[in-house]
Structure 1
Amino acid sequence: MVDASATTRKRLADRLRDDAATPSELGRAFDLSPSTIISHLEHVARSLESTDEQLLVAPPRCQECGFDSFDQLLNRPSRCPECRFEGVTEPTVTIEPVR
């Protein structure tokens, strides 16, 4: 259950504890741009460093060649650096306990 009086970052973290999502999905849910969501996610990740949880990121992936070794995991590149295909999926993020 998400507390409506909590900060955006707290509500975002609570949402990611429940289910994985892409920055676009989170942007629609919180009525924010994906770039603003990414900024919040970077802060949430730093906040979690001193806890028993971590922000996990499934990187973007090229739909043509499968490349997924992007330098910036949270950003969605416009095209694949390997094959130049423009069909690159968004990263997916979630919060899980440290194992």
Structure 2
Amino acid sequence: MKKMVVLAMAAGLASLSACNSSPREQVADNIEANSEAVADNLEDAADNASTSAAEASLENKADAVRATGQNQADDMRTNDPDTNLSNGI
């Protein structure tokens, strides 16, 4: 059920972000929205964890997903995806 909600939110955000922005900006916004949704799900799972170690692990994964999504979105906004300038290829 949560996956359906996440997909619906992503589709809604994608349609809203299509207004007055470049295709690269739209992709970057979608990357951010998707990583935020995944991180939120991880945090929800952390709230329901049975041990504090499991909760901490899930919280750390949520933070890592957010950071990765933000880095990928920033990379999409600042680098040419056709030449992969960010990784030197």
* TM-score, length of structure 1 as denominator length: 0.30
* TM-score, length of structure 2 as denominator length: 0.32
Higher strand share: 1
Higher helix share: 2
